[in-house]
Amino acid sequence: MSGAIHTVTPNPALDQTVTLDALRAGSVNLARAAHVNAGGKGVNVASCLADWGLPVHVHGLLGRDNSGPFEQLFADKRIDDRMQRVAGASRVNIKLADLETGATTDINLPGPETGEAELAALASGLAQVGAGDLAVLAGSLPPGLPRDALARLCAQLKRQGAWVLADSSGSPLAAMLANPPEALPDCVKPNREELAQWAGHPLPALDDVVRCARGLQRMGVGRVVVSLGEQGALLVDADAALLASLPPQRPLSTVGAGDALVAGLAAAKSQELDAADSLRLAVAFAAAKLQRVGPHLPPEQQIRELAAAVSLQTLDAA
């Protein structure tokens, strides 16, 4: 077992998931159900890790005006709340889950206005992360934070000796990946579209994804995991390129499946699993999450059965 686990969520969100029989654009839609969950990538990761039985500390910038659901989640799951409180309300993300197609339409609202003072407070709170600890930097940035905010936090955590797992996209991810080698994250988990956006060109074939991930790994990112939706997930490190897949799952909600995958990678790192078993566990976390609304996992035995059912294929490392 490695050190403590910390998740960092600069832009937490209240996820309002509205379930519809079928989404008809431009029409009046009758919802079947609606659920509100405290979320945001790092919060979702922490929630899944807590369900797995691992102690976890949450950091981030939480709007004071609607902090209640987050505080309730942290209390219910015994998650250590180290969030910095900021003026205003955390953003609300509306997710329209279409039961007919299984697709989810996201409408993400902006978060509270922040700036260098809030970033400094977040960095100060992370000073306690120590050598051998695991830190997950996850999600987007609220309005006002500089685009290199995650890159700066990543560099700080690396200086402090932490193992850093990053799950972001767009300019925050690009800024992190522009860090010098000693300040790069140890692992990144983009999806195919996010990786293509970083690369600046489409990645239509699996070989293209492998080649791009291998390029990142050669830059100094020790492990690259790419989520591929129904195709499963790809893991590239110095030793191998592995593709993991499961039989098709009928999802109740795809919301947060990528975050569950990240939680599985963090749990595997904490338990010092090898690359193959790490990928199996991560894909099992993601598949198990498909049967839940909100950032929650089913009982451990169900996840272990899914992990045992994951098939791994070794790809040409190119």
Q: Are 40 and 11 in contact (CB under 8 A)?
A: yes
Closest C-alpha to 7, from 175, 149, 116, 166 = 166
Cα–Cα distance measured from residue 87 to residue 228, given in angstroms and rounded to the nearest whole number? 37
Residue-wise over 105-135: b if at least 16 C-beta within 10 A, else e? eeeeeebbebeeebbeebbebbeebeeebbb
Q: Where are the alpha helices (DSSP H) in 2-148?
A: 41-51, 68-77, 116-125
Query: In which order are the strands placed within the sheet that holds 31-39?
Result: 31-39, 13-20, 91-98, 104-108
Q: What sign for the dihedral angle of Cα 246, 167, 163, 122? A: negative
Active site residue 259: yes
Nearest to 134 by CA among 258, 1, 12: 1
Rounded alpha-carbon distances, angstroms, from residue 231 to 61, 197, 234, 279, 287: 34, 19, 9, 14, 12
Q: Which of 51, 186, 237, 259 is catalytic?
A: 259
To which residue do tokens 């005006």 refer?
Answer: 65
In this structure, what are the phi and psi dihedrals at residue 84, rounded to the nearest 5 degrees?
-80, 130
Residue type, 36: V
Contacts of 200 (CB under 8 A, 6+ apart): none
Could you give the residue numbers annotated as active site?
Answer: 259
